[in-house]
Amino acid sequence: MTILDGKKVSNDIKNEIAAEVDKMKANSEKVPHLAAVIVGNDGASLTYVGSKVRACERVGFESTLINLPETVSELELLKTIKDLNEDDAIDGFIIQLPLPPQIDTQKVLLTVDPSKDVDGFHPENFGKMALDMSTFIPATPFGILELLQRYEVDTKGKHTVVIGRSHIVGRPMSILMSRRGWPGNSTVTLTHSNTKNIAQITTQADIIISALGVPNFLKAEMVKDDAVIIDVGITRVEDPTHPKGYVITGDVDFENVSKKASFITPVPGGVGPMTIAMLLKNTLLAREQRKA
């Protein structure tokens, strides 16, 4: 069994990006600039955005954090996005989700300039991804592809089962794993909360990508020997014995499933660190496209 070490690979990617930025600086070129918009004071969102800002500092990017109050109107948020779209200093930006109930998330995401949509959520970018065209791939799926590639996991002709159909992870992964090329060329089954006999399907899978958000959902008896397991789930589970009062748990019963798997991602330290690394990679790509 091989651990797919997202922490190590994400550090490698950040070092590669930092080297590219150093070349830009040496040539007196503008370095990439990533902006993040966060609405309200959700603890998890603030932590996540903070880690993105620190990652920018580490690789030499410029970064801007725009923190709007929980009570902000939809019109004010759309005006902020319009300003970012028109600001030539900004290469890419993200809108941290979820947004408060007074704001139409779809309308907000549609307002983002696709050429600055480094999250890859705009329908134009999603459509290009589905058509195998060059575009921004959502950061978490992009990170999963990078892990599979760097650990030379064979995907051709394999049966991939994706658990969860979110627009951020599940659905993009089902498209990307079936595309021509590598990683890809696998036969994909997309499962979700209404799928019947899910264990019957997962036991046939060569590769399982679980993005359900249900702690320890995938048990050892649901997995065949030598399967590749990608755990995207990340849930805080209360644990009074832990100093923090909780533990971070994935969708996979790691202790038991890891005994049967050929490759597996840990939680934490698997897919999570890759997401920020690939957001940086998308921002670098955005800068190169704007320069061109």
Catalytic residues: 52, 96, 119
Residue with tokens 């997995």: 223
Please, are residues 275 and 143 in contact by the beta-carbon 8 Å criterion?
A: yes
Tell me how far apart the alpha carbons of residues 285 and 135 are, in angstroms, rounded to a whole number.
9
The token pair that represents 229 in the structure block: 């397991």
Q: Which of 158, 137, 134 is nearest to 229 (CA)?
A: 158
**Enclosing H/E stretch for 92:** strand 92-95
Sign of the four-CA dihedral 78, 30, 10, 132: positive
Contacts for 5 with CB less than 8 Å, ≥ 6 apart: 266, 269, 270
Is there a binding annotation on residue 171?
Answer: no
Contacts for 66 with CB less than 8 Å, ≥ 6 apart: 35, 36, 37, 38, 80
Is there a binding annotation on residue 164?
Answer: yes
Please, are residues 36 and 63 in contact by the beta-carbon 8 Å criterion?
A: yes
Query: Taking phi first (over 0 means left), then psi (-120 to 50 degrees means alpha), and beta for anything else, what does residue 184 get?
Result: left
Please, are residues 280 and 17 in contact by the beta-carbon 8 Å criterion?
A: yes
* Residues of the binding site for NADP(+): 164-166, 234
* Residues of the binding site: 164-166, 234
